[in-house]
Amino acid sequence: MLYHQPSNSRGNYTFDKRIHTDVAFKPHFHKNLELIRVLAGRVRLSVNEQTRVLELGQYALVLPNEVHALLSDGPSRCWVGVFSGDFVRTFESRIRGKEGSDFVFTCQPAVEHFVREYLLEGEGDLYLTKACLYAVCSEYSRQITLQPQTGKSGLFMRAVTDYIAGNYRSKVGLSDLAEALGYNYHYLSKCFHKNFGMSFTEFLNSYRLDAALTLLTETDREITEIALESGFQSIRSFNEYFKSRTGTTPARYRAAGVRQGKL
């Protein structure tokens, strides 16, 4: 089953970086860019059905809405940073509607030293982070050729996620999406299942839930207000869906976040 990650599909300078040991990510996609750097061992990366084995010191850049999976090839450690396009607006504009001839590249020693100090290991401020990401994107551009997207699947998925990102707070259905994209309702339903591995309603509620989780952990707003702001039509439907997906209630989820220092 294909997974969408709404938490990795937001702008406003969203940047999540982590080190993974023996990574195992199933096929998924998101709107933000994803940078991967192998620290030890080897990892197998698949992007849009093309698979490469990343060695120590190699980088990979996954572009917005590209379906990708990451699997350790034996014991390994890798750094993964997912960042919104507003960190690199010029590069983001350049890659819109494009795909790379490859996704694996290396950095020159001077760039590697700079990126390691202020991105991979250090905690740079906003300007240093942007500088590092632009430096990496420069190396990507120097080694990899951009070409128009050839797969209709990627264009379709981007159009769908863009629509949901702009309308998930409203009461929308598959018929609204069909009208917005100019598709026949029944044909769109088949396309949706084929590309996303789930129904439109499942995808939409998953997106809404992720928005609610963010508001629960990053604000002190009332739970009822969060439910409605995230697009759920009632607090009851929100609570039922929330528990079915997380195994707990919104209040307990928030309390656990407070105890762990997330708020």
SS3 string, the chain, reads: CCEECHHHCCCCCCEEEEEEECCEEEEEECCCEEEEEEEECCEEEEECCEEEEECCCCEEEECCCCCEEEEECCCCEEEEEEECHHHHHHHHHHHCCEEECCCEECCCHHHHHHHHHHHHCCCCCHHHHHHHHHHHHHHHHHHCCEEECCCHHHHHHHHHHHHHHHHCCCCCCHHHHHHHHCCCHHHHHHHHHHHHCCCHHHHHHHHHHHHHHHHHHHCCCCHHHHHHHCCCCCHHHHHHHHHHHHCCCHHHHHHHHHHCCCC
Q: Which of 6-10, 41-45, 168-172, 191-195 is predicted least confidently?
A: 6-10
What percentage of the chain carries pLDDT values higher than 90? 59
Examine the pLDDT at 261 and tell me if it is beyond 50: no
Q: Phi and psi dihedrals of 183, rounded to 5? A: -110, 155
pLDDT number for residue 123: 78
Reported as a single tens digit per residue, the pLDDT across 188-219 is 999 888 877 788 998 899 889 888 988 888 88
Tokens of 24: 């195992």
Examine the pLDDT at 82 and tell me if it is beyond 90: yes
Examine the pLDDT at 260 and tell me if it is beyond 60: no
How confident is the model over 87-116, as a mean pLDDT?
A: 93
Residue 230 or residue 156, greater confidence = 230
Reported as a single tens digit per residue, the pLDDT across 176-187 is 999 999 999 999
Examine the pLDDT at 55 and tell me if it is beyond 90: yes
Examine the pLDDT at 78 and tell me if it is beyond 80: yes
Round to whole Å and give the CA distance between 211 and 232: 11
pLDDT number for residue 249: 93
Tokens of 198: 């789930």
pTM: 0.71
